[in-house]
């Protein structure tokens, strides 16, 4: 795990930011500073539900896609 984190941090340094795109699937913004406690819990639960339903990608797939698209 520490090797993976080191690689991730090196990529951040090389590209000057997160080395992959980050997007919400529903064009939502998520700013916990302006959300109620129940809103935060609902957003977290939605993420858990998506993960349990298989509506996500595992890290290995994401990194493989990144490597393929960025040579």
- Per DSSP, the residues of 19-33 read SS----TTS----GG
Q: What are 6-60's pLDDT values in tens digits?
A: 898 998 888 888 887 766 555 455 677 778 889 888 888 888 888 888 887 777 7
Backbone angles phi, psi at 68, to 5 degrees: -65, -40
How open is the CA angle 16-6-23, to the nearest 5 degrees?
50
Task: Please state the pTM of the whole predicted model.
Answer: 0.39
Spell out the domain ranges in the chain: 2-69
CA–CA dist 70, 48 (Å, integer): 30
């Amino acid at each position: 795990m520490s090797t993976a984190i080191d690689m991730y941090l090196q990529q951040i340094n090389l590209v000057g930011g997160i080395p992959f795109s980050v997007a919400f699937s529903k064009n939502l913004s998520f700013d916990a500073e302006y959300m109620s406690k129940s809103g935060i819990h609902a957003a977290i639960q939605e993420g858990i539900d998506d993960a349990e339903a298989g509506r996500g990608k595992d890290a290995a797939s994401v990194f493989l896609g990144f490597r393929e698209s960025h040579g």
